[in-house]
Copies of this chain bind each other. A is one copy, B any other.
């Protein structure tokens, strides 16, 4: 796998991010690509882009409730809408970087577990014990050590850097995939991502990475 990794940007509180997370690794691998998982905090990225938060208007919010369940059925994935929504996601975002500093694939495994916990099992991702327990499955450190590391300056800085990088690339939603600088917003772009990776859809150069 020599080509540049596919970038997978997401917020841990994004239902469509969860749906994408179940597909992106296999899709990229089928075309000889690794995936760089990159969690951010969407509200913070949007603030940097001077854009309003998503779903602040009832018609779109209510539509999402319906559409995400339908999209999950369409994709054949289990889905349970969180009883508290939106989720509070800085903690898993920081924990991801605690793991990624040592082992990026382990961090991606943690992220998939956390997204499943949130969108299948109604877990609260601001529960420090729960998040540390999920992380400890994929790291040699104890849950207590990981919990401490996720609150340390290094993890906060790593998440802040990811937010700044997302804003620089105009990552205005979740999930957001970038292939050689070309942006794909939304899990509904899976088919186009596959065509692009397979070389059946020419690269779009109108919008390149800044």
The contact string, 1 if C-beta is below 8 Å from chain B, for chain A 67-79, is: 1011101100000
Q: Contacts A49-B59, A51-B57, A59-B49: A65 and B195 contacting too (C-beta < 8 A)? A: no
Binds B, one of A119-127, A155-163, A199-207: A199-207
Q: Determine how close the nearest CB of chain B comes to the CB of A61; give it in whole angstroms.
A: 10
Q: Contacts A188-B188, A201-B73: A183 and B66 contacting too (C-beta < 8 A)? A: yes
The number of chain A residues with a CB under 8 A from chain B is: 33
Copies in the complex: 2
Q: Is the CB of B66 within 8 A of A206?
A: yes
Q: Using Cβ atoms and an 8 Å threshold, which residues of chain B touch A188?
A: 186, 188-189
Q: Is the CB of A191 within 8 A of B63?
A: no
Chain A residues numbered 156-197 whose CB sits less than 8 Å from any CB in chain B: 170, 172, 182-183, 185-186, 188-189, 191-192, 195
- A2 contacts the other chain (Cβ, under 8 Å)? no
Q: Contacts A49-B59, A52-B52: A202 and B73 contacting too (C-beta < 8 A)? A: yes
Q: Using Cβ atoms and an 8 Å threshold, which residues of chain B touch A192?
A: 70-71, 74
Cα separation A71 to B195 with both chains bound (whole Å): 11
The residue that A50 contacts in the complex, of B57, B69, B170, B186, with Cβ under 8 A, is: B57
- A153 contacts the other chain (Cβ, under 8 Å)? no
Q: Is the CB of B191 within 8 A of A74?
A: yes
Cα separation A189 to B66 with both chains bound (whole Å): 13
Q: Determine how close the nearest CB of chain B comes to the CB of A166; give it in whole angstroms.
A: 11
Q: Determine how close the nearest CB of chain B comes to the CB of A71; give it in whole angstroms.
A: 7
Kindly report which residue of chain B lies nearest to residue A207, judged by CB atoms: B66
Q: Using Cβ atoms and an 8 Å threshold, which residues of chain B touch A189?
A: 188
Q: A67-B185, A73-B202, A74-B192 are in contact. List 5 more A-B contacts (CB 8 A).
A: A51-B57, A51-B60, A65-B207, A70-B192, A188-B189
Nearest 3 A/B pairs, CB to CB: A188-B188, A59-B170, A66-B207
